[in-house]
Structure 1
Amino acid sequence: MKVRWEPYLRNEPHPADSHVLDHLEQQWRVKLPEQYKELVSTYQGMGPEPCAFNVGTGNDAVSVLLLVSADKEKESYSVHKAHSVLEPHVPVGIYPFALTPGGEYLCFDYRSTQARPKIVLVTVDMSIHPVADSFIAFMDGLYNG
Structure 2
Amino acid sequence: MTIRWLNYLWQKPHPATLDEIELLARHWGVRLPEQYRTIVSLHQGMVPEPCVFDVGRGTDVFNTLLTICEDEKWRAYSARNAYQTLKPHVPSGIYPFGDTPGGQYVCFDYRTTPDEPKIVLVTVETDIHPIADSFSAFLAMLHD
Q: Give deviations 1:108-143, integer Å, cap 9, x for gaps.
A: 000002100000000000000000000000001100
Partner of 1:18: 18
TM-score, structure 1 as length reference? 0.98
Name the CA distance, whole Å, in 2 between partners of 1:82 and 1:112: 21
Comparing 116-125 and 11-20, the one that deviates more: 11-20
- SS class of match (2:139): helix
Regions of 4+ moved over 4 Å: none
Letter in 2 for 1:9: L
Alignment of 1:95-106 (within 5 A): 95-106=95-106
Identity of counterpart residues, as a percentage? 53
Name the CA distance, whole Å, in 1 between partners of 2:138 and 2:12: 23
Q: Give deviations 1:23-66, integer Å, cap 9, x for gaps.
A: 11111110000000100001000000000000000000111000
Name the CA distance, whole Å, in 1 between partners of 2:33 and 2:2: 19
In structure 1, the gaps of 5 or more residues are: none
Partner of 1:75: 75
Partner of 2:30: 30
Alignment of 1:97-136 (within 5 A): 97-136=97-136
Is residue 2:51 matched to residue 1:44? no
User: Number of residue pairs matched?
Assistant: 144
Give the drift of 1:107.
0.1
Q: CA RMSD in A?
A: 0.6
Letter in 1 for 2:33: P
Partner of 2:3: 3
TM-score, structure 2 as length reference? 0.98
- SS class of match (2:106): strand
Comparing 5-14 and 58-67, the one that deviates more: 5-14
